[in-house]
Structures are given as C-alpha cells and as structure tokens.
Structure 1
Amino acid sequence: MELVLVLDCLHPEALAEFWAAALGYERGRYDPPYVRLTDRDGKRPTLLLQRVPEHKAAKNRMHPDLRITDMDAELARVTALGARVVRGPFDDEGWLTTVLTDPEDNEFCLIRAPDGGA
C-alpha cells in the first residue's frame, strides 16, 4: 500500500511552486487535472495537486503538520513563499504551533516539539 495525499485547488501549477519549495519536493509535470510532487528521497508521501472548479469554502478536514526545529526560521521561509499566518505561534500542550494557509487558503501547521526537535 502507498499513501498519496491529494489537495484540491484552483491553480495546481501555481500552487505546486509553493508546496514543492515548502516541502523540499520535486515538481512533476502538469498532467490534467494533477501536478505530482514527490519527495527526493522517496520516503514521504506523494502530494497530488488536483484542479477543481470551486474555491475552498470551509476549514480543511485534514491538514499537513510540518514538524520543524526552528519556528522563526521556518515561519520566515514559508511566509516568504506565500503562506499566511492564521494564528500563532502558541503553546499547544508544550508543542509550539503556528497555523497558516497556503496561497489558496488551505490550512497547515508548523510545529516544534517540546524538546525543540522536529
């Protein structure tokens, strides 16, 4: 079994630039309605960006948590790529957490473990 994550979006080609840079993934070609993003080492799940006609209307039922070691550096990096901070950073039972959205308003979190590790 292989886990592949699919993210609905209006502009998969444009959004691919954000997610490839944010995750350190390689961007595949646009093969309508998908752009495939893959981990260079093949260890993390593939992300498919799927073109859909409708705008995002409500909170995502599932979202990525990016576990990091340096909140300030990662927050600066992803916001420079086009992410927007929704809330945080805040303490979530010892886990330093920031809720953000990508350029199409899909939620994701940056999370630093209580010990400062990822």
Structure 2
Amino acid sequence: MTNRWAGVTVDCVDVERVAAFWSVLLDRPQGPSEPGWIYLGHRDDPLPRLVFQPVAEPKQGKVRLHLDVAVDDIEQGMAQAIALGGGFTGERHAYDEGVVVVMTDPEGHEFCMAQYY
C-alpha cells in the first residue's frame, strides 16, 4: 500500500473569496471542483491540491496547522497578501536563515510567509 499527500483542506464561510486569495497568492489555477467547493490544482499535480470547503461557522482560535509560503521579498509578499484581502498579525521573526512573518488570509487563517537568505 502506498500513501501520499493529496491535499490540504481549508474550511471557509466564503469559499470563493478565500480560494481567490490563495489562487493569486500562490499562482495556482482552479481545477475541477465539486459544487460549492473550490479546488486549486489537480489531483495528479506534483504539488498537493488546496481544497476550500464550505462551512457555516467562522474560524475560532488559532489554527494548529498552517501553510508556509516562501517569497523572494518579504515586504512585497506582505503587500501582495494585504492587497488581496489578507492581513499581518504583527508577528515577525528574524533568524539566521531568513525572516518569517505571520499573515492571515481573508477569513483569518494564519500562515507563515518567509524570505530565506
């Protein structure tokens, strides 16, 4: 038996808004999707699919699993995320290997954005 990572599913109240944010930020086109859901990428892509699942309740509390997004320029990456409807939590860390900031998507799902040196 072979197990493989197929995707990451994000619960969203506004599936279209959250999927559009991630589609532009990661340059991942929408693939075949079920009604009411949006999938970025295809099942056979080399990268895992991002799946946006509709739910009635808004996010509560800090997510325990998050995406890490690598960027060439941290300031430009942050500006793009904010322009797309995301936010900056104010959390920023400088490490020997680079800088990491904690950002949010339009529904408040936290993710790390990192510029590696």
With the shorter chain as reference, the TM-score category is: 0.7 to 0.9
SS in 1 for 2:75: helix
Task: Name the CA distance, whole Å, in 1 between partners of 2:67 and 2:48.
Answer: 11
Structure 1 counterpart of 2:30, one-letter code: R
TM-score, reference length from structure 2 = 0.85
Higher strand share: 1
Q: Which runs of 5+ in 2 are unaligned?
A: none
* 2:86 corresponds to 1:83: yes
**Alignment identity in percent?**
29
Shift of 1:43: 2.5
Q: CA RMSD in A?
A: 2.0
Q: Tell me which residue corresponds to 1:53.
A: 56
Moved over 4 A (4+): none
TM-score, reference length from structure 1 = 0.84
Would the aligned equivalents of 1:38 and 1:47 in 2 still touch at CA under 8 Å? Answer: yes
Q: Tell me which residue corresponds to 1:99.
A: 102
Q: Deviations over 1:60-92 (max 9, x none)?
A: 010001012211111111111111000243314
SS in 2 for 1:53: coil
Residue 34 of structure 2: which of 23, 31, 35 is its match? 31
SS in 1 for 2:41: strand
Matched positions, count: 113
Shift of 1:28: 3.5
